[in-house]
Every structure is written in C-alpha cells, then in structure tokens.
Amino acid sequence: MQMTDVVRTENLSFRFNGVEILSDITFALEKGEFLGIVGPNGSGKTTLIRLLLGLIKPTRGTIALFGRSADAFTQWRKIGYLPQKIAAFNPHFPATVEEIVALGLLGGKSFPRRVARTDRRSIDEAMALLDITSIGNKLIGELSGGQQQRVLIARALVAQPELLILDEPTTALDPEGRERFFGTLRSLNNHKAVTIIMITHDIGTIGQHASKLLYLDKNLIFFGGFDDFCLSRDMTDYFGEHSQHLICHRHNT
C-alpha cells in the first residue's frame, strides 16, 4: 500500500515585489520523517514554511498536505507550528501560561471555539512535557525568554499534531533546555511518528536528529538523506567545518 506524503511540493515558487524569493522547490516528506531546513539568511526558509502553512500563496507550483491540496486543506489540528520568536511580542501581555498553551487546541475546533474541560488533560500533559506546570498561572510577560519559548513549544504540541513545523525553536533555550527539547522531539518522532520540519542555523545539532536535510538558497540546493548529503562536497562552502561536525555526530533514527 502506498503511503500518503505528509507534505509534497511541486515546482513551488514565490515572488515578492518583483524579487524571486523561492524558485521551483520540489520535495516530499513521508510520515515520521524529520527534515532540517538550513541555508543562509534570506534564502527563503521561513517563506517556505509560511507557504506550507497557507499564510502566503505561492506564485507558481502546488502544495499538498496529508494528500490534499493546501487550498482545500482544513485539518489544521494536524499541524503544530512554532513561529520564529514572535516579533511583536508584548512583554505586558496579560494572558497566563495556561491560556497561551490552550490556544494550540483551537485548530481542531469549530465555531464557537471553546476550550472544554475535557481539554484539561491535554493542556496538563503538554505543560508537564515542557516542564512548565509550576508556572501555569504566571503571566507570559513575567517569564524569561527561554521559559516563553517553552510555553510556545507547549502550545505547538498540545493538540498532539501529526506534523510539527518549527522555525528556529532553540534560539532562546539554554544548553540544558535545548537538550531536553531535542529529547522531546526525538521521542515524538520515534515513538509517535510525528513528522517534523525544523528551520535551524544550528548545523551541529540538526545532524544528530534530522533524517533528511533541505538546503535552500532561493533554489533547492540539496534535498535528501544524510548519507547522500555526506557525499556532497558542495556543502562545505556554506557549512565549512560544521559540515564535518554534522556528519560525525549523526544519529540513525
């Protein structure tokens, strides 16, 4: 039986203000794969995931999510999203940690969207997973950057998504928090077959966890498994010495 791709793009292109941001990106991910997206600043990494999430429309090409065209896709509950550090994050925002985590459940609800008592367990589990149970009643603005990031990760995980899209998730985390975070991802990926797409500049770490790599620089420079990647010598221009580090520390997932 053929497995349906979780994500499939065909000749995906995006142009803004006359500038080609992405050009002819074609790739597909199956259930349970872990994709690391890397590339220099301005290479279109965040644009690619914004296209996948339907936040912007492609100029050309197609996107399919869970076998359905992105235009017709409605099962947003299946996707957990962690944006890059929220640009306009208001340090005085009056919502509590619990209120923020609960927002991750809205994708699976229809109007009027309400967080029900039966959702309590999911919220508690997500908070326990990220070790933020003790700060559940604190205001989000009272937390450190690392704690805020854990709250947002819990929001992305609370609905138990089948596809997790993460945009530079570890930037605000300390080494211990980062290790714990990757442990959580590994568990989700290995035991629950959650498909993960993660943008990162942390080349050294992504090699330990991702099963596939997508290297982007407006065009798709490389997409494939790490074994193929290791044989590609073109990457050393961008990765430099990290290329070796990445290969040396790779895990087999």
Partner 1 sequence: MDFLELFSHGFIQRALVAGCFIAALCSALGTFLVLRRLSLIGDGLAHVTFGGVAVGLLFQAYPFYVAVPIVAASALGILKLIDKARLYGDAAIGIVSSLGIAGGILIASVAGGFNVDLFSYLFGNILAISYAEVWTSVLLCLCLIAVITLSYQELLAITFDEESARASGIRTECINRILVLLTALTVVLAMRVVGIMLVSALLIIPAVTALQFARGFRTTIVISCLTGVFSVMAGITISFLLDLPAGATIVMVNFALFLLSFAGARLRGLNASGRPPDRA
Q: Which residues are at the interface with partner 1 (CB under 8 A)?
A: 53-55, 74, 76-77, 79, 81, 83, 86, 88, 90-96, 99-100, 102-104, 106-107, 109, 111-115, 137, 139-142, 155
Query: Smallest distance from the beta carbon of 7 to partner 1, in angstroms?
Result: 14
Distance CA(250)–CA(203), nearest Å, equals 11
Q: Which is nearer to partner 1, 86 or 248 (CB)?
A: 86
Query: Smallest distance from the beta carbon of 10 to partner 1, in angstroms?
Result: 22
Q: Which is nearer to partner 1, 29 or 115 (CB)?
A: 115
Q: Which is nearer to partner 1, 96 or 244 (CB)?
A: 96
Query: Smallest distance from the beta carbon of 79 to partner 1, in angstroms?
Result: 7
Query: Smallest distance from the beta carbon of 150 to partner 1, in angstroms?
Result: 15
Residue 124: how many CB atoms within 10 A of its CB? 15
Q: Which is nearer to partner 1, 52 or 203 (CB)?
A: 52
Q: Which long-range contacts (CB under 8 A, 24 or more apart) does 101-107 make?
A: 101/126, 101/127, 101/132, 101/151, 101/154, 101/155, 101/158, 102/158, 103/155, 104/80, 104/154, 104/155, 104/156, 104/157, 104/158, 104/159, 105/158, 105/159, 107/76, 107/77, 107/79, 107/159
Q: Tell whether omega for the bond before 175 is within 30 degrees of 0, i.e. cis.
A: no
Q: Which is nearer to partner 1, 135 or 235 (CB)?
A: 135
Query: Smallest distance from the beta carbon of 54 to partner 1, in angstroms?
Result: 7
